[in-house]
Chain A
Amino acid sequence: MIQSPGKTYSRKQRWLHWLMALMIVSLLIAIEIKSDFPKGDPRISQLVEWHKQAGLWVLFLVWFRLYWRYRQATPQILPPLSLAARAGAHAAHVLLYLMMIGIPVLGVLFSQAKGRAIDFMGWPVPILLDESTGLPYALTLKTLHQWLGNAMMYLIGIHFASALFHHWIRRDNTLIRMLGGHKPVADRSFFQTTIKQET
């Protein structure tokens, strides 16, 4: 049964959102800065290992987010968005969820295709593509993993900028829903009056 919406996302949804945001940002930074270290530096493999483990955590945790998103109605944005803005936000969220699943899977396939087994917190990840079959596809998988990772960076940037736009410019409760505060951070009466006049 779908639970009725509150003013904010539930505590577990909020915690998971920010935890995963931290993981995604850190794994992107780890892979970006690894080439700054000289060849053979042990920090390179530590950064790559963090990138892999954080990516697998994202792949694991995203299912809980999807489950709770399905189970609990999304808190309404007030003042309400236009249909176009709602559709845009929805499309961006769908893309982000698809990337949170697709990019780690491509990373696993790439590693396995080039003959490198992967483990998650010490447990071996099942072989989805062994080297004998996957080697010819390894470069394509790596390239796809990387392109989508880059595209996700842009999308996260847009997501972050949108949250700030809603909070500081449009002055609605979009960001507050994910921060957990119940009170508006600023007087929104002016905006609401404007909306009423328009309607």
Chain B
Amino acid sequence: MNSRKTMIALTAFAALVVSAQASAFDGSQYAKEATVSIEQARALAIKAYPGTIVEEELEHKLGGSGLRYSFDIRANHVTHEVAVDAKTGNILENSRESSKDND
């Protein structure tokens, strides 16, 4: 294999890794356990606190069914953390982000 082919193969590999990651959201490995899709959860979260989603994650956490979508939603210079139960669609949390949760 010459160097050009190797470069192409490595670039393709890198693109594959990135695109494989790109198809997933944070915590998407738990998506099989969820009955509410990320799209449905986004809609429910935006309804609970209208604004722009700046972060999203599917995570295991105490409360509700134990599996939740956590969103950071920003509107009017205020960020709210909104959690949607990934099995029931219930809103588990809708509170202003504190400075301690700064990320």
A88 B21 Cβ-Cβ under 8 A: no
Within 8 A of B (CB), among A38-73: 39-42, 44-45, 48-49
User: From A98, which residue of chain B is reached at the shortest CB distance?
Assistant: B14
Chain A min CB distance to B94 (Å)? 13
Q: Is the CB of B26 within 8 A of A151?
A: no
Q: Is B53 an interface position by the 8 A CB rule?
A: yes
Give the shortest distance, in Å, between A81 (CB) and chain B (any CB). 11
Q: How big is the B interface, by class? A: 20 to 34
Cβ–Cβ < 8 Å partners of B54 in chain A: 113-114, 135, 138-139, 142
Q: Does A146 make an interface contact (CB < 8 A)? A: yes
CB of B4 to closest CB in A, whole Å: 8
Chain B CB within 8 A of A79 CB: no
Chain B residues within an 8 Å CB radius of A142? 54-55
- Expressed in whole angstroms, the Cα–Cα distance for A41 and B79 within the complex equals 18
- B85: interface (CB < 8 Å): no
Q: Indicate if the CB atoms of B6 and A45 lie closer than 8 Å.
A: no
Contact of B6 among A34, A91, A115, A139 (CB under 8 A): A91
In A69-87, which residues have CB < 8 Å from any B CB?
83-84, 86-87
Smallest CB–CB gap between B49 and chain A, Å?
A: 14
Tell me whether A86 and B3 are in contact (CB under 8 A): yes
The answer to whether A138 touches B21 (Cβ under 8 A) is no
**Cβ of B21: which chain A residues have Cβ within 8 Å of it?**
146-147, 150-151
**Taking beta carbons and an 8 Å cutoff, which residues of A are in contact with B?**
34-35, 39-42, 44-45, 48-49, 83-84, 86-88, 90-92, 95, 113-116, 131, 135-136, 138-139, 142-143, 146-148, 150-151, 154-155
Given contacts A39-B101, A142-B54, 10 further A-B contacts (CB under 8 A): A40-B100, A114-B55, A114-B74, A115-B79, A135-B52, A136-B52, A139-B55, A150-B21, A154-B17, A155-B14
11 A-B interface contacts by CB (under 8 A):
A39-B101, A40-B101, A45-B99, A86-B3, A87-B7, A90-B7, A114-B55, A135-B54, A142-B54, A142-B55, A155-B14
